[in-house]
A and B are shown apart, each in its own frame.
Chain A
Amino acid sequence: MTAPTEGPEKAQTEQKSPATSAAERAAPASSRAADFGIDTTAKSTGEAIRGYLVSLRSGDLGALPALLGLLALFILFTALAPDTFPSLLNLANLLQQGAGQTIIAMGLVFVLLTGEIDLAAGTASGLTASVMALHLVSNGNLLGAMGTPVFLLFAVVIVVAIVLAVLLKIWAGAIASAGALLLLVIGFPPNPWLEMLLAVLVGVVIGCLTGFLVAKVGMPSFVVTLALFIAWQGVILQLIGDGGTLGLRDPVIAAVANGNLSTLGSWILFVVAAGGYAAVMLNRQVSRRKLGLVAQPTGLVLIKTIAVVVLAAVATYLLTVNRSPGQLPISGVPYVVPLVLVLLVAGTYVLDRTRFGRHVYAVGGNREAARRAGIDVVRIRAAVFVISTAFAAIGAIVYSSKVGSVSPSAGGGNTLLFAVGGAVIGGTSLFGGRGRISNAVIGGAVLAMVNNGLGLLGQPASVVFLVNGIVLLLAAGVDVLSRRRSAVAGR
């Protein structure tokens, strides 16, 4: 480009950008940077650590208590049960045990972020699992297994959900519900993949109903989901029958929570996941630096990235070692790990990078401000229930796969406690607006470890319940206290 053309071209680009603010045009460009002298885009590592400590003191704890708790629990159980707890077999088993509830907790984060609660996520997940199991057990004949009246009612409910989703302008929910109707009406021979898809689509259907009642009708989510919690339990009983269980005798479904990647697959997963993480972190750092945006100190980002990659490498190596005590070798990263990772990445991306995610945080932080900013608050509040129940259905597939059957108590008391507990223990606020999907993973890991460890120590169910309750109370207490501190520090 030669020099003379530079002038007019510059003017053109200035004209092209329509969104220059009134204030911006008024001030000459040269004076801007100087005026903003205090704004620091790049901090040294020391400053960043000091800043982090300040934010900790002012109550922004994030996932720190849960991470410390996780470490403490690991040390505690290793000390108490040195032979069984830290074995590779048990640790891999722990991942598979906790994955289902953790996935439900990840979906619940969306609901909690808007300041609502979904008590029905547990039994809704059980309902989706029983539809899946019923289809498998009845050899694809849902009409015969359910009986004509129940089947028709089910179809009508799905149609209602489609209408509600359209009313709420949740197009993805409407399409998914229509998919559920299609699968149901056309029918298909038993196929594990289609059955799992059906479970997730039924989850979306349930989420549309919940979302409509909470967001559009305006009933408190606590009451709506409590009522649905009870109602879905009745539906599960109707589908499975009193006292019965539906066995999941399908190799694909059984492998979801019990299967492992091959050694090669495990290392491919490591390369994709750790490499992807490093690439995203470093790319963001470089581009933010280049554009002069607020960025973390490069040293800190490097340390964090290297730590994650090394930890992932160690974990992958350990999981590819044969961990079987018997003749048949067991090795490889459990399938649940890539599953949780994919959901984690997708959920985090939606919350951090998309307009929808930004609006979820805004609705949770200040609903009135969101409304005045032109955000469709009703749609956002309904959509989080759709997401939550869809996640719950995926979680249901995993925990049903782990036990190998679906019983009438599927998704009952324990599951819900786990899910809500996992989200809250990880640091997601019950008051809305604060929390991340990764928090739910950490919180889910804490609860899985508590249950696994106490089980190995031979503690009775009474103690296990008691400890779980106390852990949840502690987490909720930390949330309230940190909010109080940040309210004081904010002024």
Chain B
Amino acid sequence: MTDPILQLRGVNKSFGAVQVLHDVDLTVRAGEVTALVGDNGAGKSTLVKCVAGIHPIDSGDVVFNGSPVTLNAPTDAAKLGIEVVYQDLALADNLDIVQNMFLGRERGKSWLLDEADMEQAARRTLASLSVRTVTSVRMPVAALSGGQRQTVAIAKAVLWDSKVVLLDEPTAALGVAQTRQVLDLIRRLAEQGLGVVLISHNMADVFEVSDRIATLYLGRMVAQVPTKDITNTQAVELITAGRSGDLGLQRPESVTV
């Protein structure tokens, strides 16, 4: 077992009067895929946005690589090597793959971009992820399929010196074959030593690729267990009821939002 790369301890987050996250603990280990599951409104996306620095946390600790850090802006997270692949991918259709991957962080001088360097780096990254479906890195993103777009979005996240990649519903809009590609890609990211957090509603995907499942229930972390130790039914019970046998909250019915 590797050391945790990212740890959240007792994280609270409220929006006005609504407390969305209650004392949430989460451990992400390098080289592992941690699946973050939970019903709609359980706080998954809020948790991701807290880690990404979009929503600063109210209280609690974030420990990155053994040292406490504060995440108040997306740039803070990016500097640490935390990258987020959002559900809507955030790609510009009219730009090509290279331009999208380097958007906002172009290499070269402000008055003369280093296209050659960017193109080579983009190709190396795609190649290292064993992406074989893209015919040219100079294709506009508009011409790519859903799975290819997802691939580009993920490649964009790992292009940097990233340590942790959070993926928000990466397979939600994809067909069977494309889902396959993306799941393989997620596995490869973990094999390359990155800490991967996968948010998904699809339990089949979760059980296939994850090493560890973290379940949120009404803003509380009810269980973080190795995937091999629980069954699909138990996971669904944790998601919907907050408890399954010995796992989860002892009195979930008393929990309020």
| A interface residues with partner B (beta carbon < 8 Å) | 18-24, 26-27, 32-33, 35-41, 55, 58, 287-288, 291-294, 353-356, 358-359, 361-362, 364-366, 368-370, 372-375, 433-434, 486, 489-491
Contact = CB atoms under 8 A, between A and B. Distances in A.
B36 to A, nearest CB: 20
A24 B128 contact: yes
B6 to A, nearest CB: 14
A368 to B, nearest CB: 6
B92 A361 contact: yes
A365 B160 CA distance: 23
Interface string B174-185: 000000000000
A19 B162 contact: no
A20 B120 CA distance: 11
A211 B194 CA distance: 43
Contacts of B78: 374
B193 interface: yes
Nearest to A36: B127
B10 interface: no
Contacts of A369: 89-92, 103
A21 B159 contact: yes
A287 B116 contact: yes
Nearest to A369: B90
A451 B51 CA distance: 60
Given A22-B162, A38-B134, A39-B127, 17 more contacts: A21-B162, A22-B163, A23-B158, A24-B125, A26-B193, A32-B124, A32-B128, A39-B137, A55-B143, A355-B113, A358-B95, A361-B95, A361-B99, A362-B95, A362-B103, A369-B92, A370-B92
B106 interface: yes
B112 interface: yes
A354 B158 contact: no
Given A353-B113, A361-B95, A369-B91, A490 B120 contact: no
B92 A23 contact: no
Nearest to A356: B110
27 contacts: A18-B161, A21-B125, A21-B160, A22-B162, A22-B163, A23-B125, A23-B129, A36-B132, A37-B132, A38-B133, A39-B136, A288-B116, A355-B106, A358-B99, A364-B94, A365-B92, A365-B93, A366-B91, A369-B89, A370-B104, A372-B90, A373-B90, A433-B92, A486-B142, A490-B142, A490-B143, A490-B144
Interface string B145-181: 1100000000100111111000000000000000000
B121 interface: yes
Contacts of A373: 90, 103-105
A365 B95 contact: yes
Contacts of A37: 132
B192 interface: yes
Count class of interface residues, chain B: 35 or more
B256 interface: no
A372 B145 contact: no
Contacts of A374: 74-75, 78, 104-105
B9 interface: no
Contact of A366 (B93, B193, B194): B93
Nearest to B54: A372
A32 B194 CA distance: 19
A430 to B, nearest CB: 14
Given A354-B111, A362-B95, A22 B194 contact: yes
Given A362-B103, A372-B86, A375-B103, A38 B132 contact: yes
B129 A354 contact: no
B181 to A, nearest CB: 14
Nearest to B112: A353
A5 B79 CA distance: 34
Nearest to B139: A294
A33 B91 contact: no
B142 A39 contact: no
Contacts of A490: 93, 142-144
Given A22-B163, A433-B92, A354 B112 contact: yes
Interface string B65-91: 000000000110010010000101111
B189 interface: yes
B135 A40 contact: yes
A366 B99 CA distance: 13
Contacts of A358: 95, 99, 103, 106, 113
B192 A26 contact: yes
A368 B75 CA distance: 16
A425 to B, nearest CB: 20
A434 B257 CA distance: 47
B201 interface: no
Contacts of B161: 18-22
Given A21-B161, A22-B162, A491-B146, A372 B74 contact: yes
A110 to B, nearest CB: 15
A35 B132 contact: yes
B126 interface: yes
B187 interface: no
A347 to B, nearest CB: 14
Which of A288, A294, A434 has the most B CB atoms < 10 Å from its CB? A294
A358 B102 CA distance: 10
A23 B163 CA distance: 10
B136 A40 contact: yes
Nearest to B122: A21
B135 A22 contact: no
A39 B148 CA distance: 14
B92 A293 contact: no
B92 A366 contact: yes
A36 B145 CA distance: 18
A434 B104 CA distance: 19
Contacts of B146: 491
B250 to A, nearest CB: 40
A23 B90 CA distance: 21
B39 interface: no
A293 B120 contact: yes
Nearest to A58: B143
A358 B100 CA distance: 10
A433 B94 contact: yes
A22 B106 contact: no
Contacts of B189: 23
A375 B125 contact: no
A21 B74 contact: no
B130 interface: yes
Given A22-B160, A24-B125, A358-B99, A291 B120 contact: yes
A491 B147 CA distance: 10
Nearest to A432: B94
Nearest to B164: A22
Contacts of A294: 119, 136-138
B131 interface: yes
